[in-house]
Amino acid sequence: MTSPGFPAVRLRRMRRTRGLRRAFTETRLHPADLVAPVFVKDGIDQPVEVDTMPGVVQHSRDSVRAEAKRLHALGVSSFILFGVPAAKDAQGSGGWDRNGPVHAALRALRDDLGDEVVLWADTCLCQYTDHGHCGPLTADGQVDNDAAVAGYVRQAVTQADAGADLVAPSGMMDGQVAAIRDGLDAAGHARVGIVAYAAKFASAFYGPFRDAAESAPAFGDRSAYQEPPANRREARREVALDVAEGADVVMVKPALPYLDVVADVRGRYDLPVAAYHVSGEYAMIKAAADRGWIDGARAMHEAVVGIRRAGADLVLTYAAGELAQALQEG
C-alpha cells in the first residue's frame, strides 16, 4: 500500500539537516518558560545536598541569593520559594512568620534583583506543621479545611508584604483561592497574583521533594485532599472552580503522567497554564542517566519540551538551570 501523495509527499525532506529541523521546530524552549523551585532552610550556613535529587540543594539564607543571581544570569527569571523552618507546630504557624526563611528570601531577592525577576511563594503549611499535613488537624486526624485556608490567607498576605509577585496555594483545600484573593485585596495587595495548584494529584512522584522540604506526613497520606490519579473529569471541575474563584494562573501537578490534563486545561481556558515537572520525574531521569541507561541531558530536554507541547506556558522544573545553560550554549 502506498502513502497518499507519495512519492511527491516526503516528510523526511524537512528533517534532512540540523538547520531544516531547527527551522521547522514547532515547540521551542526558552529560559523564560522555566520556573526554578528553590528551597531555603533555616539553621544552616552552607548548602546541603538532597540525596534523592542530584544537583538540588537546600539553601541557606545567604546561598539562595547567589543561586538566584546565577540562574538569572542564565535567563531564568522566575523562582518559586519553599521554606524549611527551624521549628514546627501543629498549626503550621511558621508559615506566616515574617522572619521565616521564605519571607527573608523574598526580601533579599527583591533587594538584589528588583523587578527583573518574578518571585513566587509556595503557600502551604505542610513544611511548617509537626505532622506534615497541609493544615491543622481535626480531632479525628483529618485536615481541617477551613482552618487550613485561614492559615493560607495569613501566609499569603505576609508573603505579599515581603515582596512576592505571586502566591501559589498548593494545599488543595476547597475555597482556598477565593479566600486568598479576598485576603490579599483587603490587605492592599490587589496586584499580587495567585497561581492555583488547580489539579494536583495524590502522586507517588513527590517523594524526593519531601526529602528536600522535610515535609513527609507523619501518618497516612494526602489522598483525602489531593486528587485521585485516575480522575480526569474531576480535574476539570477543580480547575473550573479555581478559575471562578479568581486564579490568575492554573497549574497541573505532576506534569508528565498528566499531559492529558494539561492539554484539557489549555484547550478550555485562556489563562496562563503552568505544569510542575516534579521531583520524582526529575530524579528518575537523573538516576537512569547516572547508570548510563539514557542520555540525561537529551531526556530532560525532551521531557520539558513535551510538557510545553501539551500546552503549558510555564514549566516548574528542577532542571531549569541546566536546561538554560544548554540553551545558552546552543
268-315 pLDDT, tens per residue? 999 999 999 999 999 999 999 999 999 999 999 999 999 999 999 999
- 251/313 Cα distance (integer angstroms): 10
68-80 average pLDDT score: 97
193-221 average pLDDT score: 93
138-167 average pLDDT score: 97
CB 264 within 8 A of CB 275: no
In sequence order, which residues have a C-beta less than 8 Å from that of residue 190 and are 6 or more positions away?
184
The pLDDT value recorded for residue 250 is 98
The pLDDT value recorded for residue 27 is 97
Predicted confidence (pLDDT) per residue in 251-264, tens digit: 999 999 999 999 99
On average, the pLDDT of the chain sits at 96
The pLDDT value recorded for residue 116 is 93
CB 299 within 8 A of CB 289: yes
The pLDDT value recorded for residue 105 is 98
Predicted confidence (pLDDT) per residue in 318-327, tens digit: 999 999 999 9
Whether pLDDT at 220 is above 90: no
- What is the reported pTM? 0.96
Whether pLDDT at 1 is above 80: no
What angle do the packed helices 145-162 and 101-113 form, to 10 degrees?
Answer: 30
The catalytic residues are 200, 253
Q: Is 98 exposed, middle or buried (0-12, 13-18, 19+ CB in 10 A)?
A: exposed
The pLDDT value recorded for residue 133 is 93
Whether pLDDT at 3 is above 90: no
279, three cell numbers: 521531583
CB 98 within 8 A of CB 162: yes
133-146 average pLDDT score: 94
**Residue 4's pLDDT band (cuts 50, 70, 90):** confident
